[in-house]
Amino acid sequence: MKTIFTLLVLLLFFQSVCAQKFLVIDRYGLKREKLMEGDKIKFKQKLNPSIFTDYVALLKDTSLVISTNALEIPLGEFETFYFQRGGATFLQYSGSFVGGGFLFASAVHPLVSEAQYDQRESFIIGASFMVLAQSMRFFKWKKYKMNGRGRVRILDTTFKNGEK
């Protein structure tokens, strides 16, 4: 009897822990992005050319509240959402690291008595790595536009007990 009671209490506790609201951004044919309260959000509004970066403070039924000034924004106001790509960021930083190493090697080349590479070769390799790494900045953000192919909505996974 104690085990059944304990299982019921744990089930009710687990149900309340798992029930949440999500901001879901769909672009048909591609991966779905989900944001919860407290997540970082980067977006552009309709009729406003600025890009805003903030945190989701509260999710309501048809709008969300961002943490700066507790500003409430309806879902229909969003034009574009931006999400960071991990691979492009990794390639940017690792390419800069390798390019910086080659540039450092070309800078200290006169100080090394038995250098294996020519100073010009190290400089060319380092500079090309740096240019390629910095070109990855253009691919760092993935855009989700809310036009005919995209939509934003709020999913509520809370359970209501006996309400009609």
- The pLDDT tens digits for 113-154 are 776 777 888 899 999 999 999 998 888 888 888 877 778 888
Q: Does 116 lie in the same domain as 43?
A: no
Q: Does 29 lie in the same domain as 78?
A: yes
Q: What is the DSSP letter of 32?
A: -
Residue 17 to residues 10, 21, 56, Cα–Cα distance (Å): 10, 12, 19
Q: Does 70 lie in the same domain as 149?
A: yes
Cβ proximity of 33 and 144 under 8 Å: yes
Q: What is the pTM of this model?
A: 0.67
State which residues of the chain have pLDDT below 70.
5, 7-19, 29-30, 115, 159-164
Q: Does 121 lie in the same domain as 44?
A: no
Structural domain harbouring 40: 19-83+141-156
Secondary structure string (H, E, C) spanning 132-148: HHHHHHHHCEEEEECCC
pLDDT at res. 124: 92
pLDDT at res. 162: 57
113-149 as b/e: b if 16+ CB within 10 A: eeeeeeeeebbebbeebbeebeebeeeebeebebeee
Residue 45 to residues 77, 82, 93, 106, 134, Cα–Cα distance (Å): 6, 12, 30, 47, 28
Q: Residue 66 is encoded by which pair of tokens?
A: 């961002």
Helix (H) or strand (E) holding 104: helix 86-107
pLDDT at res. 100: 93
Helix (H) or strand (E) holding 131: helix 119-135
Q: What is the DSSP letter of 108?
A: S
Q: What is the number of structural domains in the chain?
A: 2
